[in-house]
Amino acid sequence: MSAPLSVENLSVVYRVAGGILQAVRDVSLSVQRGEVLGIMGESGCGKSTLAAAMINLLPVGAEIRQGGVRINGTDMLKLPPAAQRALRGQSVAMVFQDPMTAFNPVLTIGRQLADFAGAHDPARATPDRLVAMLARVGIPNPARFLDRYPHELSGGMRQRVAIAAALLMQPDVLIADEPTTALDVTMEAQIIHLLRDLRTSFDGAIVIVTHHLGVIAELCDRVAVMYAGEVVEEGTVDAIFHAALHPYTRALLACDPAVVDPSSGRLPTIAGRIPDLTALPPGCAFLTRCTMALPACHNPPPRVLLAEGRSVLCHRVQP
């Protein structure tokens, strides 16, 4: 059986004033049923573009240069628009970053949930089913929620409803793009707990895009670390957090405020900045910031496959 979601050699570019911005470069990933994949990286590394490309809803100006996005083995990018729409929501659903703006302000929660489901199968839009789904994401008194308007709910509640909406059609893939970034710490913890609870009852694949290392550590089975549009390292959560091989992953983990020694009085940073994505150097994109660079790093780095689902894009690593 094919994986619910697999991305193959995907490259996405943006047409900008200065030329062509390479946001996602030759990314290949796949997620299995019941597995949670985390996509980690700093701002501007292409992780949100990658998430948008997974449902082929890229912003204006973006263009897929090559590659494919296979949902249950079917390349979504090759389907006509109507068939793509049938897949969205049904086979692959998405939870967005900001729950405050993710709902239509003039429709009640019940109407919107019914509408999500009704787009595919009106029989699934019964109030009973909606209430059951709201209860599943931990909303108290779900029946009362159906008549509420989005502005009457708190951010945490809205994110729960957004997750309920995404799960309504029992998709094979759930993509969460920074699901906790817009929430305060308490709500963030609650949503993380909710997603962790869902892992046991949801048998599809989950992709979580975040820059929050804690979220990755709490929720994910496998992690893909992105830098300058590329996946620089991929592995299990244990491997990434305890035996990271790529210098960027190591530097990123060292910067997590949660692991910094409080007595040192300073927060470590990665010196330098992300390279200009419109004019990338021919070699390793991390070269200018890397403390372990070799002369060979001026050449394109090899993708070193260490095991199934464990790879590093670096000259330093030996197979």
Partner 1 sequence: MSSAVDDITLPARRGIGRALLRDPMGLAGLVLVVAFLAMALLAPWIAPYDPIALNVKAKFQPPSAAHWAGTDHLGRDLLSRIIWGARLALGISITSVGIAGALGLVLGLVAGYGPRWLDSALVLVFDSMSSLPMIFFALAVITVLGPGTTTLILVIVLVSFPSYARLIRTQTLSLSGADYILAERAMGAGPVRIIFRHLLPNVVGPMVILICMDIPVVIMLEAGLSYLNLGVKPPSPSWGNILAEGYNSLRQAPHIVVIAGIPLVLATLGFTFLGEGLRDVLDPRGAGRRWT
Is residue 106 within the footprint of partner 1 (CB under 8 A)? yes
CA distance 43 to 242: 23
Q: Enter the tokens of residue 269.
A: 């940073």
Among 67, 89, 229, 235, binds partner 1 (CB under 8 A): 89
**How many chain residues interact with partner 1 (CB under 8 A)?**
39
* Residue 262: Cβ-neighbour burial (10 angstroms; 0-12, 13-18, 19+): exposed
Per CB under 8 A, the list member of 10, 53, 55, 183 interacting with partner 1 is 55
User: For partner 1, which residue of 23, 71, 93, 287 counts as binding (CB under 8 A)?
Assistant: 93
Kindly identify the residues of this chain, within the stretch 108-147, that bind partner 1 according to CB under 8 A: 115-116, 119-120, 138-141, 147
* Site for partner 1 contains 98 (CB under 8 A): yes
User: CB of 142: closest distance to partner 1 in angstroms?
Assistant: 11
207, 176 Cβ separation under 8 angstroms:
yes
- Roughly how many angstroms between the first and final C-alpha of the chain, as a whole number? 29
Exactly one of 16, 57, 271, 292 binds partner 1 (CB under 8 A); which one?
Answer: 57
| Angstrom distance (rounded) from CA 207 to CA 314 | 24
Nearer to partner 1, 92 or 274 (CB): 92
With contacts defined by CB under 8 A, name the span among 20-28, 71-79, 105-113, 249-257 that binds partner 1.
105-113
C-beta closer to partner 1: residue 98 or 218: 98
Tell me the closest approach of the beta carbon of residue 103 to partner 1, in angstroms: 5
Three-state SS string over 287-315 comes to HHHCCCCCHHHHCCCCEEEEECCEEEECC
Provide CB contacts within 8 A for 42, sequence distance 6+: 211, 227, 252, 274
SS3 68: strand
Of the pair 205, 285, the CB lying nearest partner 1 is at: 205
State the minimum distance, in angstroms, from the CB of residue 161 to partner 1: 11
Task: Using the rule CB under 8 A, give the single segment among 97-105, 210-218, 276-284, 294-302 that binds partner 1.
Answer: 97-105
Q: Which residues share a beta bridge with 177?
A: 209
Rounded least distance, CB 138 to partner 1, Å: 4
Name the minimum Å distance from CB 145 to partner 1. Answer: 10
Give yes or no for residue 85 binding partner 1 (CB under 8 A). yes
Q: In the window 147-206, what residues touch partner 1 (CB under 8 A)? A: 147-149, 151-152, 154, 157, 162, 165-166, 190
Pairing relation of β-strands 5-16 and 19-31?
antiparallel
Q: Read out DSSP for 155-182?
A: HHHHHHHHHHHHHTT--SEEEEESTTTT
- Residue 77's nearest CA partner among 21, 30, 7 is 7
The residues of the shown chain that bind partner 1, judged by CB under 8 A, are 55, 57, 82, 85-90, 93-94, 96, 98, 101-107, 115-116, 119-120, 138-141, 147-149, 151-152, 154, 157, 162, 165-166, 190
